[in-house]
């Protein structure tokens, strides 16, 4: 199987690339990938793996601000990771993540992502650490705790090693799923 890995900013993807990525995500999430989820994955860097059948895997990393102990950090936030059903468990998710991790490591203070129960093993096997502290967001009404996000938020080692789970991570606000 011939594979081609490509990284590109959202602005450099043509409409066909974006349609293919959205279709892959809709399929991978059984139609439970909302327009707001799609929007969260735009505006940053994308890793796309193509094979002879088309787009086989996708993920993106976008910049977010996360506050910890009074300091706002630039976070590379991983979004919209999916692998086509017929090529799952062949390492393509790892290839996408390796490229996104390279971007995070070179351009951001830390990496973060919100993982489903099904997706978490991919990330923890790659060294992402489940955040054991509180997760909050800076909402239009002030800081609010997001208990439903606790247990699913993962951070990338590096600066993440100096994060203290006794102090909450406060994510910037966005519509839809905040984390």
Q: Would residue 177 count as lying in a domain? A: no
Q: What is the pLDDT of residues 119-173, one digit of tens each?
A: 999 999 999 999 999 999 999 999 999 999 999 999 996 665 679 999 999 999 9
Taking Cα atoms as reference points, which of 58, 152, 81, 146 lies closest to residue 114?
Answer: 152
Confidence of residue 177 (pLDDT cuts 50, 70, 90): confident
What range defines the domain where residue 22 resides? 4-172
pLDDT of residue 178: 86
Q: Would residue 178 count as lying in a domain? A: no
Is residue 119 helix, strand or coil?
Answer: coil
Q: What is the pLDDT of residues 114-126, one digit of tens each?
A: 998 889 999 999 9
pTM of the model: 0.94
Handedness of CA 146, 131, 121, 57 (dihedral sign): positive
Mean pLDDT across the chain: 94
* Total domains, the chain: 1
pLDDT of residue 68: 95
Strands 71-83 and 169-172: unpaired
Q: Would residue 110 count as lying in a domain? A: yes
Could you tell me the CATH number of the domain that includes residue 160?
3.40.630.30
Residue 60 burial by Cβ neighbours in a 10 Å radius (0-12, 13-18, 19+) = buried
Q: Would residue 158 count as lying in a domain? A: yes
Q: Would residue 130 count as lying in a domain? A: yes
């Amino acid at each position: 199987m011939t594979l081609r890995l490509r990284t590109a900013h959202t602005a450099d993807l043509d409409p066909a690339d974006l349609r293919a990525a959205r279709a892959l995500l809709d399929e991978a999430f059984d139609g439970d990938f909302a327009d707001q989820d799609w929007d969260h994955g735009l505006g940053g860097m994308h890793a796309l793996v193509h094979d002879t059948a088309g787009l086989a895997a996708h993920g993106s990393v976008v910049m977010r601000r996360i506050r910890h102990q009074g300091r706002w950090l630039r976070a590379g936030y991983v979004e919209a990771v999916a692998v086509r059903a017929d090529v799952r468990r062949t390492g393509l998710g790892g290839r996408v993540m390796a490229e996104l991790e390279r971007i995070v490591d070179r351009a951001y203070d830390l990496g973060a992502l919100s993982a489903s129960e099904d997706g978490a093993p991919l990330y923890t096997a790659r060294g992402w650490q489940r955040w054991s502290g509180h997760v909050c967001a800076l909402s239009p009404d002030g800081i609010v705790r997001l208990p439903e996000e606790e247990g699913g938020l993962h951070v990338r080692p590096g600066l993440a090693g100096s994060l203290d789970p006794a102090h909450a991570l406060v994510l910037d606000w966005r519509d839809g799923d905040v984390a």
